[in-house]
Structure 1
Amino acid sequence: MNRFIRPLAMTALAACCGAAFAATDQVPQGQLPRWAVPVSYKLAFKLDPAKQAFSGTTTIKVDLKQAADHLWLDGRDLNVSKVTVTDAHGKVSQGKYVIAAPKEGVARIDFGSTLPAQLLTLTIDYTAPLNQQLQGLYKVSHAGVPYAMTQMEPISARFAFPGFDEPDFKTPYDISLTVPSDLVAVANTRQISETPAGDKWKTVAFEQTRPLPAYLVAFAVGPWDVVKGPDISPSAYRSDVLPLRGIAAQGEGHRIQHVLGETPSIIHTLEDYYGFGYPFGKLDLLAAPDFSAGAMENPGLVTFRDWLLLLDPDSPAKYVRASFNVTAHELAHQWTGDTVTLAWWDDLWLNEAFATWMQQKVTMKVHPEYRADLDRISEAQGAMQNDSLVSARKIRQPITGNGDIETAFDNITYRKGAAVLGMFEGYVGEDVFKQGMRAYIQSHKYGNATVDDLVDAIAVAGKQGDSFKQAFHSFLNQSGVPYVQTRLEQKDGKTILHLSQSRYLPVGSTGDAARVWGIPMCVRYGTADGSKVKCEMFDQATGSMLLDGASHATWVMPNAYARGYYRFSMAKPQWHALTQHVAELSDTEQLAYADGIDAGFRHGELDAGDALTALKPLANASTREVVAAPLNTVAWIYHHEAHTDAQRAKLAAWVSDAYLSRMEQLGYQRKLGEADGDTILRTTLAQAMALDFGIPQVRTALLKQGDAALAKKADGRLDLAAADPDLLGDALSVAVQERGKPALDALIAELPQVTDPATRNSILAGLSAANTPEVANEARDFALTKQVKVGEMAAVLRGGRDTPEARDALWQWFTGHYDQVIARTGSFASGMLPRLVGGGSCSQAEADRLQAYFEPRLKDISGADRGLAQTREQTLLCAALKAKQDPSAMLR
């Protein structure tokens, strides 16, 4: 971290002689110096969403800890007109606002003279544009009507007001909003007053917040529908009724009732777990018309992408399930993130990994049929794909600049972090882990915490020593996935499992495999009457485990319960033995088995024929997640190893044999009262079989629905309701591929007339599926227009990359429209640009052109250096794996 630290000589001089900090000191490159610390804020805004700019007055009480003639703070794109400095005795002077680092958003306040250490009050008047890139205080529209709202995380508060935009500066905030009289204003806390403010204006004031970092300040202005939800009853940990409301764009409020009905059970579950009542007084859930993230945990005013909150009885089942999961995630943040906040962004996992882990616990309790236990494993395996890169982040990645902050919101932080928590929770036991979490929350409530605070609390609760802490830290402070190689030996009547560990590296990786973790490892193995599980801490490069009571011809599942964040390998005879017993494994273990096959294939130990044979039994499983587990591996083989029509036909036949009867049994329409798992499986199989593998029967069925949806009604609108709502996006995708430009043009004409977010998402899916350069480029051109929201643009641009020719067409379009793409994306999204245009590539030439194009542009797109490194590495690994393959192997 480039934390500003004063030279030792200056420290001594200041101590003995009262020397001051002069305005000539260096611009902070990392954290702001701590000799000026905010104590409280008053934020007053005057804004009309119909305008392009707003005005504000920020009043900050600052503890100036040492004599200085200036201080540093954050502010970006702010036009400051006046700075007033009031000292501790009430003396008022004029200060000066100096933009010191415009790109980073660092500014300086010059006092005009040297002031001694004291409590100062700064009052800053300014104007600023309503942001167009979904950052800070930004402008959006719904059905042509403008709204203004905020998204401050991670470092965008500086676009909205000048201040100390770092997480450990937690202070109370007083917020007031002067807005047009006919609009609704909401914020983190309850409204306490509304007063006229001149012709057709009013000022709305809100209760003071609890101590918050700047990134959690939130408010919104517009003609919102405000819907009262069910009051959340008091609990053993909260004595007051908690009022609950839904906030949605005008005309949409009636669709938020489902989520409001689910929310009390989430809050009560979280309170019971943490032993700590919801602390923020009121709770509003807001459906944002456009949003850069999935949702944001602002205390008291949680904001979401609108499709997560606006649900109807026929909404796609995957949206209903995602709605609950994301709501549980954001509400879990009210404790881990909002009540206890990370001290600095290298510990972002203390927010996001814990919210992900806790959401899964809440979902398992409230909706066990959603199988969040399987989601955790699938998501961890997705994180392992990224974590297998040499360029992968650590969970606790040092922060070297704003780009590192903006790119920390990834699978490593969220999903690897959650998996590691689950693994160590399993090691110490759920009750012990809960005791540690309760102690952690109580010790740091309304303040900040670091990794050591959390790990120490768990260790104390579990009576664990340094070896436990070291094992925990081994997963937090180094990147990579442990790879546990296993070998069975029968010796002197005993069965011994020999173990060695290294870093998992795919074929073609240039990484160093020599790495050791402290792995809480559990093994399931066959016995004469079934199976047993044995668990040990494996924290050396090599080791062994005695399998008591193992049958002579035992089989081994080296990740029992699938709780461990590691991959495993074994000799082919052992794989064969495990495959024969795969039906005896639990659902979770079957997912770990599928990942083990994929890992062995990408590591070069198994060829395509081995993988296809080992994965085939999973297609007959009863659980949706297990049924779908082979699809990604098979899709890679189909797109990158099958070179001829005969080879692709062979793989398509494998897919049809494995899945077509299941697809036909499910049918192509949601059945009355069917389990949502069946509904989602229908969507999963239809999408894969039609769009990844081109299975004719499935494409024909979806095309029929797509044609029906594209037929015009009497009013000239498309009859989108003619398709099954869960399959609409896939049906439109097939229709665009089969019907070409007329289908695409129909969707382009329809999108501006559609306000329902789920339907818009289906149309965007159809646009992204265009599979000829001319039609695909028309869709991409349309994505740059205002008819496509900023947050929707990537959904269109992500399509068209299944073949080298399609990727070449995307590349040509992107490089020809680079400036227009950049103009629509903010710094939070710019780090994803290399993946947006280069994802799915699989050749040295594609890796080289990506590097050559982006390398000179990195200085202008914050965070893109990591995105470039990872996308290039993924491309080269794909090319290496492709080069290793013998296509005849998959025909065995």
Structure 2
Amino acid sequence: MNLNSLSTLVCAAVMTLLLGEFLPMERTSGLFTPAAAQPADQPLTTAAPIQLPSNVVPEHYDIFVRPDAGSLRFDGSVRITVSVREPTSAIVLNAADLQLKRAVLRSSPEQLAAIALHPEQQTATLTFGQTIEPGTYEVAIDYEGRISENADGLFVAKYGSPEAPKRMLATQFEPVSARRFVPCWDEPARKATFSLSVAVPKGEVAVSNMPVEEIAELDGERHRVRFQRSPKMSSYLLFLGMGDLERLERTVGSTKLAVVARKGSASKGQFALDSAEQLLGYFNGYFGVPYPLPKLDMIAVPGGGGFSAMENWGAILYFENALLVDPALSPESARQRVFVVVAHEMAHQWFGNLVTMQWWDDLWLNEGFASWMENKATDRFHPEWMMWLQSESGRQRAMRQDAKRTTHPVIQPVIRGDQATQSFDEITYRKGQAVIRMLESYLGPEAFRRGIRSYMQRYPYQNAITDDLWAELEKAAGQPVKPIADDFTRQPGVPLISVQDVKAAGSQTTITLRQERFGVDDSARDLLVWRTPVSAAAIGVGMLPAAQVIAGPSPSFISVPGALPIKINVGQTAYYRSHYPQEAFLALAERFSLLLPADQLGLLYDSWALGEAGLTPLTDYLALIRKAPPDADSAVWRQIIETLMSIDRLYARQAEQTTFRAFARTTLAPLLAQVGWDTRPKEPDIRAILREDLLNALGQFGEPAVMAEARRRFDAFVADPKSLPAAIRLPTLRVAALSADPVLYGTMHELATKAADPLEKDQLFGALALAEDPALARRTLEIALSNEPSRATGLRMIMRVATGNPDLAWQFALEHLDALNARLDALQRYDFVPSLAAQSTTPHRLGELRRFIDENVPAEFRQSAERLYADLNFRLEVKTERLPQITQWLAAQGIVPQAAQVPRQ
């Protein structure tokens, strides 16, 4: 699953929300430790997982469903071949939101079951009149279920205009929603084969994991479509989709690849299909195990949910903005995002589908590896995109989360399957990705690849645990892996590697290092030890790094070839924060332009994080960005933009914001003058994304020339939509909307309601939500809960309003709590509303958020909400204790605001 969820979207920095990449806030707690938080050196729980009895296990499901999209109901029947391992008179399996009408054990004689549903446990118990002896049997169940309007279980996606409404059905079962579609053993280790049949209205197309086996007349209005038997797989990977669909396909080797989309839009999947063809060959070679299914469909679904894509085996679900590229609508950032998401989901076909984690505590085996492979594969085919540099912001999000008491280990105990929704976060995805990259760098790419191949070849169609992977890597590399890996996956936190002393002698420099925990709250006092691969190198062309594993607070020494200054964590391949004495930091800052882009990024991110935590002056970061040359890599400038916009949020409702915005404009406007508004011949793709960022940021900072030009281009767009190129369509709409008056707002709203294409409608409604005028923001919130935008777009609109008007969005959410909750899927349910408050800079909001969590979020689902509370708490601390440093620095630099600029709230 590719996580673009509203549970990750929470508390996103303004820039990231403007770009449509919803990222968590970089702040955490310092003023207050939530009552629910536990010491970082203790496991979250020691209780054993609650799982179904193992005395009966499934072997095969034969399912038939008859959906009725109009009534949002479906009828179903399933024949389950089970293996009874021990004598029993009862069979327990999972069922949620299903009505089981009849259950029969096909034995001699047949036994009719007494059915007992247990909604709290999401299980059903079938009790029989006599003991069932060990052996193989068939259980036949007739049942009914409901079709959801959220992306959970079998759900409906609505699109089209009010005059010509359309519907598409699809399923989303991860982590535990297969039980909403069919009574089953809904646990990853209970693998079985599946045969699926569905009643499909004539004229519609159905798609599932396997190719169609047979189409037969069912009645005057429907066909019965039966799909081929699947390989052995976990229940959460089962898929069904149906609607007015078309295919764009080709055969690659023995595999048929296809994009399946609503009629009239499949051609927009051409880039995704071309990308999938490249990736299929690459993954077949890398994993050493060919893709095992006869086809791989990529299904584009209108709307959205708490995720952007789901890796169902042979039938990957994508929401349209993660798969389709429209030349008239999609900027370069959208094209790159499509490639990355396709790479992520295709990697899952091996890591997750072919070999699956045993239980949800090892979810990172799926998601951390797919996240790592998405970058590795993208870098293979598009090195010009500098994906490892671009993705550094993701690793930093994980490190910010990991620097608090409310973090958790990568391998996180999960008691009940439904609690696994709490594990779909930056630690699982991005810290997992970072740990894998660190281990690959430590072992070497070839040894690491041999270990991965051995793992795939040993556990196909099976379940595995993390230690199984470490064992294969150790055998392949011939050296210990588990001790280092365990330190970074079984305990929480970020190591802080501090340079304590530097001594130069001839052609060698010896540095003294010390390790402790980096934390922004009392977690910094935890005595944790990580065996950490540390690299160090002198600045200069051709200077080779020295490397060794260090651990603990005792001094460690590394002898480095060359003279001062010395940079540690060369290439940013290891997971730790770097801290230098002030003199050493200033020496690196003076040579900033000589550093490789990855090391420039590392210095910037570490400088800001250490400043926020109070370990160094926060203004070191501002002095450092003044050393960034105009021709620095785009990823470096994007980091600077991201941080400037985060600072701007801290100044909300303060007079000093005008001064800071003047500094931000002075920093960025010269760069925009070089980049320009319009694409230039032979321009690097990454430059197009930098242009998007610059326009969004300078619009937010109130740059008069940018705001005027955006308004001019928007007016031209209204007169002639073809006048606005796709490359700058989104930033133009967004900047125009930021300072919208009622007339412009009304024009954009009318365009949004009339748009027939879901991608275009989503863009326009999304831009509308950025209007900062409180009266217009309130109007946006009301529109978001209407039937005008899709449910998913409406939620994104509310979140975007919260970036400029967080207190307004919070109050609106409290007033409409029932309506909001009805629109949230399992990945959003308990943290969407807290995420609105967590973007505030109002101190009393902290107490309100505390009360909301205590009263509305069950204790067992409170982990994400507590993290949001910590985010808000720490943001307020940074605002109170650190922001004055920036105000004083700006005054010392002689920065004065332009009189015409007034902070917009």
Of 368-377 and 847-856, more deviation after overlay is shown by: 368-377
Residue matched to 2:156: 139
Residues 224 and 557 of structure 1, relative CA distance in 2, 3 Å threshold: same
Q: 2:184 aligns with which of 148, 151, 163?
A: 163
Is residue 691 of structure 2 the alignment partner of residue 694 of structure 1? no
Residue matched to 1:114: 131
Q: SS of the residue aligned with 2:430?
A: helix
Residues 352 and 225 of structure 1, relative CA distance in 2, 3 Å threshold: same
CA distance in 2, matches of 1:780, 1:726: 28
Gaps spanning 5+ residues in structure 1: where?
1-27, 234-240, 714-718
- The residue type paired with residue 364 of structure 1 is D
Is residue 297 of structure 2 the alignment partner of residue 279 of structure 1? no
Q: CA deviation at 1:264?
A: 1.1
Is residue 627 of structure 2 the alignment partner of residue 627 of structure 1? no
Give the conservation status (yes or no) of the 8 Å contact 2:404–2:523.
no
Is residue 243 of structure 2 the alignment partner of residue 222 of structure 1? yes
Residue matched to 2:140: 123
Q: 1:34 aligns with which of 49, 54, 68?
A: 54
Is residue 115 of structure 2 the alignment partner of residue 97 of structure 1? yes
Residues 262 and 846 of structure 1, relative CA distance in 2, 3 Å threshold: same
Is residue 511 of structure 2 the alignment partner of residue 497 of structure 1? yes
- The residue type paired with residue 301 of structure 1 is A
- The residue type paired with residue 545 of structure 1 is F
Q: CA deviation at 1:265?
A: 0.9
Residue matched to 2:856: 857
Of 634-643 and 872-881, more deviation after overlay is shown by: 634-643
- The residue type paired with residue 119 of structure 1 is T
- The residue type paired with residue 248 of structure 1 is A
Correspondence list, 1:640-679, <5 A? 640=650, 645=655, 647-679=656-688
Residue matched to 1:305: 319
Q: CA deviation at 1:188?
A: 0.4
Q: SS of the residue aligned with 2:304?
A: coil
Residues 231 and 678 of structure 1, relative CA distance in 2, 3 Å threshold: same
- The residue type paired with residue 869 of structure 1 is E
Deviations 1:616-643 (A, max 9, x none): 2235243110112122333333332588
Correspondence list, 1:176-325, <5 A? 176-227=197-248, 229-233=249-253, 241-292=254-305, 293-314=307-328, 315-325=330-340
Give the conservation status (yes or no) of the 8 Å contact 1:668–1:701.
no
- The residue type paired with residue 539 of structure 1 is A
CA distance in 1, matches of 2:197, 2:690: 48
User: Relative contact order (C-alpha < 8 Å, sep 6+): which is higher?
Assistant: 2
- The residue type paired with residue 462 of structure 2 is G
- The residue type paired with residue 813 of structure 1 is F
Residues 447 and 620 of structure 1, relative CA distance in 2, 3 Å threshold: same
Residue matched to 1:577: 587
CA distance in 2, matches of 1:782, 1:866: 31
Give the conservation status (yes or no) of the 8 Å contact 2:56–2:83.
yes
Residue matched to 1:769: 770
Q: CA deviation at 1:549?
A: 3.5
Correspondence list, 1:252-651, <5 A? 252-292=265-305, 293-314=307-328, 315-402=330-417, 404-465=419-480, 468-490=481-503, 495-506=509-520, 508-509=521-522, 512-526=525-539, 531-551=543-563, 554-618=564-628, 620-640=630-650, 645=655, 647-651=656-660
Q: CA deviation at 1:287?
A: 0.5
CA distance in 1, matches of 2:837, 2:688: 32
Deviations 1:772-812 (A, max 9, x none): 33211211111112222222222101123456xx3222221
Q: CA deviation at 1:200?
A: 1.9
Q: SS of the residue aligned with 1:547?
A: strand
Is residue 876 of structure 2 the alignment partner of residue 879 of structure 1? yes
Residues 146 and 644 of structure 1, relative CA distance in 2, 3 Å threshold: closer
Deviations 1:389-410 (A, max 9, x none): 2111221111133453012111
- The residue type paired with residue 251 of structure 2 is D
CA distance in 1, matches of 2:624, 2:441: 29
Tell me the TM-score normalized by structure 1. 0.90
Deviations 1:343-369 (A, max 9, x none): 101111111111111111111111111
Residue matched to 1:52: 72
- The residue type paired with residue 62 of structure 1 is V
Is residue 103 of structure 2 the alignment partner of residue 83 of structure 1? yes
Of 390-399 and 489-498, more deviation after overlay is shown by: 489-498
CA distance in 2, matches of 1:566, 1:761: 38
CA distance in 2, matches of 1:708, 1:839: 38
Q: SS of the residue aligned with 1:531?
A: coil
Give the conservation status (yes or no) of the 8 Å contact 2:51–2:416.
no
Q: CA deviation at 1:546?
A: 3.1
Residue matched to 2:4: none
Residue matched to 2:25: none
Of 443-452 and 835-844, more deviation after overlay is shown by: 835-844
Residues 365 and 737 of structure 1, relative CA distance in 2, 3 Å threshold: closer
Deviations 1:184-233 (A, max 9, x none): 11110011111111222211111100001110000111111122x23112
Residue matched to 2:891: 891
Residues 191 and 644 of structure 1, relative CA distance in 2, 3 Å threshold: closer
- The residue type paired with residue 875 of structure 1 is L
Q: CA deviation at 1:277?
A: 0.5
Q: 1:66 aligns with which of 86, 107, 127?
A: 86
Residues 353 and 32 of structure 1, relative CA distance in 2, 3 Å threshold: same
Q: SS of the residue aligned with 2:219?
A: coil
Residue matched to 1:24: none
Give the conservation status (yes or no) of the 8 Å contact 1:705–1:724.
no
Of 748-757 and 576-585, more deviation after overlay is shown by: 748-757
Q: CA deviation at 1:154?
A: 1.0
Give the conservation status (yes or no) of the 8 Å contact 2:89–2:130.
yes
Residues 735 and 641 of structure 1, relative CA distance in 2, 3 Å threshold: closer
Q: CA deviation at 1:862?
A: 7.4
Q: SS of the residue aligned with 2:187?
A: coil
Deviations 1:487-522 (A, max 9, x none): 22328776331111122112x555534211111111
Give the conservation status (yes or no) of the 8 Å contact 1:295–1:304.
yes
Over the matched positions of the two proteins, sequence identity in percent amounts to 25
Residue matched to 1:812: 811
Give the conservation status (yes or no) of the 8 Å contact 1:104–1:402.
no
Q: SS of the residue aligned with 2:512?
A: strand
CA distance in 2, matches of 1:848, 1:802: 20
CA distance in 2, matches of 1:526, 1:586: 9
Give the conservation status (yes or no) of the 8 Å contact 1:834–1:871.
no
Residues 728 and 34 of structure 1, relative CA distance in 2, 3 Å threshold: same
Give the conservation status (yes or no) of the 8 Å contact 2:375–2:388.
yes
- The residue type paired with residue 143 of structure 2 is Y
Residues 245 and 801 of structure 1, relative CA distance in 2, 3 Å threshold: closer
Q: CA deviation at 1:92?
A: 0.9
- The residue type paired with residue 243 of structure 2 is G
Q: CA deviation at 1:889?
A: 3.0
Q: CA deviation at 1:814?
A: 1.0
